[in-house]
Amino acid sequence: MLFDPIPIDEYEPICVANNALLSYTLLGVGLYVAWLEPFIVKSMRNVIPDISDPILKENVERFSRQEAQHYQNHQRFNETLLNQHYPGLQQRYDELRLDFDQMLIEQDSKYGIGFVEGFEALTTQGALRILSSGALKHRATDKRIADLFTWHLMEEIEHRNVAFDIYEHLYGDSLYRARMCLVAQTHIFRFLDDCTSIMSQHDRERFGERCHVTWPQRKLFRLGQWVATFRSSLPSYTPHNYVIPGDLQALSDHYSAMATKVS
């Protein structure tokens, strides 16, 4: 399933609920996952021969197919973003790709699956929070951004257990898993912070103070991020305990129907 990207001349940086911090965060997430998701697919497929449970093996295959679709859609949106010529953004994006390339070369499978699980433990919390906030339904949110991220976040919720189950099946090392939650989540937090700084500073010159993200806003947001890291690092953590609100099922059905129509 492919979503229509935003044309370069229609780009508006404050594209989510009139909120600069949330807009830059989601735009940064779009950049991040474009290189993360190929890493996820490769890391998962590297361990398929080691998985003895046929159901888990099938879940990995399905998970990998979903991540590949996410990557393709975000790359198309990112072309518009990178063509805004933010000073230093392309360089930071290229550095991110090198980070993931080096991880695949230098780290073992346990690290790779641990990193994936650390990221997925964060995104399930984030997906539920963003979808419940109503920000993607806000009248000031660009519908193209809303559709892309609602679809992506719904699939994050749908496959929330897969990375955790594979990690437990292959390794089951809770201390190492806690460490990888910190590693993976710090990695994305730093990238999002860098992107926000780059884009906000440049857009203040182009579009004015509505693009300013204040220091207190960033610190409060970072506090929320570290709370999520703490929760996902606890030995008692499991995504199987999440209670998914019933109204999200209608969203899931909607995007499943869209996928069926184009398949």
- Going by C-alpha positions, the residue among 202, 217, 195, 218 that lies closest to residue 32 is 195
Residue 96 forms part of a structural domain: yes
Residue 236 forms part of a structural domain: yes
Q: Assess whether pLDDT exceeds 70 at residue 68.
A: no
Residue 87 main-chain phi, psi, to 5 deg: -60, 120
Q: Assess whether pLDDT exceeds 50 at residue 84.
A: yes
Average pLDDT for 52-65: 88
Q: How far is CA 152 from CA 33, 73, 101, 137, 171, in A?
A: 11, 10, 23, 15, 28
Residue 248 forms part of a structural domain: yes
SS3 118: helix
Residue 220 forms part of a structural domain: yes
Q: What is the largest CA-CA distance in the chain?
A: 57
Q: Assess whether pLDDT exceeds 80 at residue 249.
A: no
Query: Structural domain of residue 222, as residue ranges?
Result: 8-262
Q: Assess whether pLDDT exceeds 60 at residue 262.
A: no
DSSP symbols for 223-237: HHHHHHHHHHHSTT-
Average pLDDT for 201-223: 93
Residue 197 forms part of a structural domain: yes
CA 22/CA 13 separation, integer angstroms? 10
Residue 1 forms part of a structural domain: no
Q: What is the pLDDT of residue 168?
A: 96
Q: How far is CA 68 from CA 44, 74, 83, 203, 233, in A?
A: 12, 10, 23, 31, 27
| 89-106 and 20-47 helices, crossing angle to 10° | 20
Please write the tens of the pLDDT for every residue from 3-50.
788 999 999 999 999 999 999 999 999 999 999 989 999 999 999 999
| 162-170 and 20-47 helices, crossing angle to 10° | 40
Please write the tens of the pLDDT for every residue from 114-170.
999 999 999 999 999 999 899 999 999 999 999 999 988 988 888 899 999 999 999
Residue 230 forms part of a structural domain: yes
Helices (H), the chain: 20-47, 54-82, 89-106, 109-133, 143-158, 162-170, 174-207, 215-233, 247-262
The structure tokens listed for 132 are 């419940």
Q: What is the pLDDT of residue 2?
A: 66
Give the pLDDT band of residue 80 (cuts 50, 70, 90). Answer: very high
Q: What is the pLDDT of residue 257?
A: 66
Answer whether 100's CB lies under 8 Å from 36's CB.
yes
Q: Assess whether pLDDT exceeds 80 at residue 197.
A: yes
Give the pLDDT band of residue 255 (cuts 50, 70, 90). Answer: low
Q: What is the pLDDT of residue 247?
A: 75
Q: How far is CA 30 from CA 80, 117, 192, 262, in A?
A: 11, 19, 10, 22
Of 74 and 232, the structure prediction assigns the larger pLDDT to 232
* Predicted structure pTM score: 0.92
Residue 3 forms part of a structural domain: no
Mean pLDDT for the chain overall: 90
The structure tokens listed for 142 are 């660009």
Total number of domains in the chain:
1
CA 36/CA 34 separation, integer angstroms? 6
* Whole-number percent of the chain with pLDDT over 70: 93
Q: Assess whether pLDDT exceeds 50 at residue 263.
A: no
* Whole-number percent of the chain with pLDDT over 90: 72
Q: What is the pLDDT of residue 1?
A: 66
